[in-house]
Structure 1
């Protein structure tokens, strides 16, 4: 589940994306302040909640909105007021950008410029394929977990790179839109005082 709000770009609309669908095969049903976006097979891809500022405190929202248990419950309440019952029990509200620890970084068996890394995050150890030249065992790094929305709008998804599964992305400072980010290629390596598994605040 991903949530977006950009009043300047799209107006006072909270966009709730449950899953991606091909846009030219989608249909929209409107009921009050809610537009239901459906796939060709009738399943729900998401909702557009109009007059969002009347239902939510939109202060500071500009682009991807961080999911919290409170926000998910607020969205569910607005939908219920419009006669829509939606089960959000599956929604992951843990931070999508977290401090990770590179437990190992091995050369990809089928790609010279890729490394297969085992990275400890808040939910255990995951495998991430990384193309940065400076990734190494023992580093503390920033991990964008599956479901994370990058400042560019890119949504991070589980993938496979040259046959190796990858569950997230180890990020550079520029990818995180941090101020004064170096332009040279390479991941952001954090100082030791950062705690593994904690949330990391990115630029928007």
Structure 2
């Protein structure tokens, strides 16, 4: 998984690529030219890459989340290799926001508002997602932000745990998607919404 964001206003033409959630531990940068490899000081794992002067190498960048096409990924990979680093980016083509179908929904033990759902997102692929919305129910068509999605407010969806239960993704409300929120809770789609298709606001 990789999260790619372009920041021109705050960081002056930097493309930031995250491979995992940045924990509160120290990060160690290693720079060669315009490529900066970022590693966790604790275990040495690569947590991200920064590309400085990004607009010199890539065209059409705008502030915020970026989806790199194959040509752009190839360009960044060649820059990484020229800098002497062995890590490679992958082209990601699957949508991060998709129509899901809640196949089961059960209360989480010890919680007064959390529910554990199994939610189908594509051709039988089921995600376990903990949801705190009061209106979540089995049989609904919903919008799922998969892990790696960047929400309109900039929040990144990472794998996580709630009440010790693994959760992979988020079932979204209209407000979380930057849409008018007409009622409380998650956004429930019409019955004819096709599971697995990309959702765009």
User: Shorter chain as normaliser: what TM range?
Assistant: 0.7 to 0.9
Alignment of 1:125-204 (within 5 A): 125-178=126-179, 181-182=180-181, 184-202=183-201
Please name the residue that 1:54 is paired with: 56
* Displacement after TM superposition at 1:138 (Å): 1.8
* Displacement after TM superposition at 1:76 (Å): 1.1
Please name the residue that 1:77 is paired with: 78
Structure 1, 34-43 or 97-106: larger mean CA deviation: 34-43
Give distance in 2, aligned partners of 1:99 and 1:84: 38
What TM-score do you get using the length of structure 1 for normalisation? 0.84
* Displacement after TM superposition at 1:52 (Å): 0.8
Please name the residue that 1:109 is paired with: 109
- Paired positions, count: 198
Runs (5+) with no aligned partner, structure 1: none
Q: Does the C-alpha gap of structure 1 residues 36 and 143 become closer, same or farther in structure 2, counting only changes over 3 Å?
A: same
1:59-100 Cα deviation digits (max 9, x unpaired): 4x32121355444333212212333332346x7542221110
* Displacement after TM superposition at 1:4 (Å): 0.7
Q: Does residue 45 of structure 1 match 2:47?
A: yes
Q: Does residue 35 of structure 1 match 2:33?
A: no
1:88-115 Cα deviation digits (max 9, x unpaired): 46x7542221110111222223223122
* Displacement after TM superposition at 1:192 (Å): 3.0
Give distance in 2, aligned partners of 1:20 and 1:137: 31
Runs (5+) with no aligned partner, structure 2: none
Counterpart secondary structure, 1:16? strand
Counterpart secondary structure, 2:116? strand
Q: Does the C-alpha gap of structure 1 residues 159 and 39 become closer, same or farther in structure 2, counting only changes over 3 Å?
A: closer
Q: Does the C-alpha gap of structure 1 residues 20 and 131 become closer, same or farther in structure 2, counting only changes over 3 Å?
A: closer
